């Protein structure tokens, strides 16, 4: 949901700038636009931070209606409301708009932005094929696994618990939200590939958790990197999390 909030926030910012231009009958210059975009991105980071904290406090790390409701409320209070306040201090500085086009034509950008914004806000309700199990390593016996939801596939073995998820999930958030205390978190090298390692504890029992992002059977530890790969090559991405008791 964080990515949807980011995209929707930028669209909302563009909508507000366009609305203010029409109201003032002037254009914003490039510096004003870039500065406002900077504030939009900053507010998005703050909004997502409070969203994650709230999800942990309410122990709601699973994708459900309450999960999305918290996200939408954080988006409104920590991004939309501050943007509405900030736009009051941004006044178009360039020349007055002189356009002889019909009034309805002038409103076309606003209408288009509204449609895009509405469509984006509904993205979380749209069924998507994440292809989490496509070309999965055969060592994972998927026939023994179950779908927790459309974004999470779980495999339980005698020695380890395996989760295969969409990259929007963060194991640290999920484990913390389920009552585990993170003792150590770092990036390690395993089989000549970098992966994330977490040592955690719950009810006096310690666990080792290993996780990574996977695309084209290659492992990554950076979410930004795999999202760029997905953007450029449109390849499916999954997050794999293996957890076992510490020996």
DSSP-assigned letters across all residues of 123-140: GGGS-----TTTT--TTS
Cα 169 to its chain centre, rounded Å, is: 8
- Whether 236 shows a pLDDT value over 50: the answer reads yes
Higher pLDDT among residues 97 and 240, named by residue: 240
pTM beyond 0.85: no
Q: Phi and psi for 224 in degrees, rounded to 5?
A: -60, -40
Give the residue-averaged pLDDT of 18-28: 80
Domain ranges of the chain: 2-125, 142-245
Q: What is the pLDDT of residue 124?
A: 47
Q: What distance in Å separates the CA atoms of residue 173 and residue 53, rounded to the nearest whole number?
A: 9
Give the residue-averaged pLDDT of 163-173: 85
**Three-class secondary structure of residue 21 per DSSP:** helix
Give pLDDT tens digits for 47-99: 888 887 787 677 665 566 777 788 888 888 888 898 888 888 887 776 655 55
Q: What distance in Å separates the CA atoms of residue 88 and residue 137, rounded to the nearest whole number?
A: 54
* Widest CA span in the chain: 76
Handedness of CA 71, 15, 35, 228 (dihedral sign): positive
């Amino acid at each position: 949901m964080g990515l949807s909030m980011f995209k929707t926030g930028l669209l909302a910012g563009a909508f507000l700038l366009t609305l203010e231009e029409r109201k003032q009958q002037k254009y914003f210059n490039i510096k004003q636009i870039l500065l406002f975009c900077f504030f939009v991105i900053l507010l998005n980071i703050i909004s997502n931070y409070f969203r994650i904290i709230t999800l942990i406090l309410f122990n709601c790390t699973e994708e459900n209606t309450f999960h999305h409701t918290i996200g939408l409320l954080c988006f409104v209070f920590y991004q939309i409301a501050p943007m509405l306040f900030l736009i009051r201090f941004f006044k178009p500085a360039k020349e007055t708009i002189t356009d002889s086009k019909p009034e309805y034509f002038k409103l076309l950008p606003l209408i288009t932005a509204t449609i895009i914004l509405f469509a984006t806000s509904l993205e979380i309700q749209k069924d998507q094929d994440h292809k989490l199990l496509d070309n999965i390593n055969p060592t994972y016996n998927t026939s023994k696994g179950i779908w927790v939801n459309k974004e999470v596939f779980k495999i339980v073995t005698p020695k380890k618990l395996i989760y295969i998820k969409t990259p929007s999930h963060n194991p640290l958030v999920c484990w913390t939200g389920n009552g585990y205390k993170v003792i150590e978190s770092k990036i390690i090298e395993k089989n000549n590939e970098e992966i994330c390692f977490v040592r955690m504890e719950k009810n006096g029992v310690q666990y080792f958790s290993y996780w990574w992002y996977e695309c084209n059977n290659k492992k990554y530890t950076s979410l930004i990197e795999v999202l760029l790969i997905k953007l450029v090559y449109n390849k499916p991405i999954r997050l794999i999390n293996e957890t076992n008791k510490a020996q």
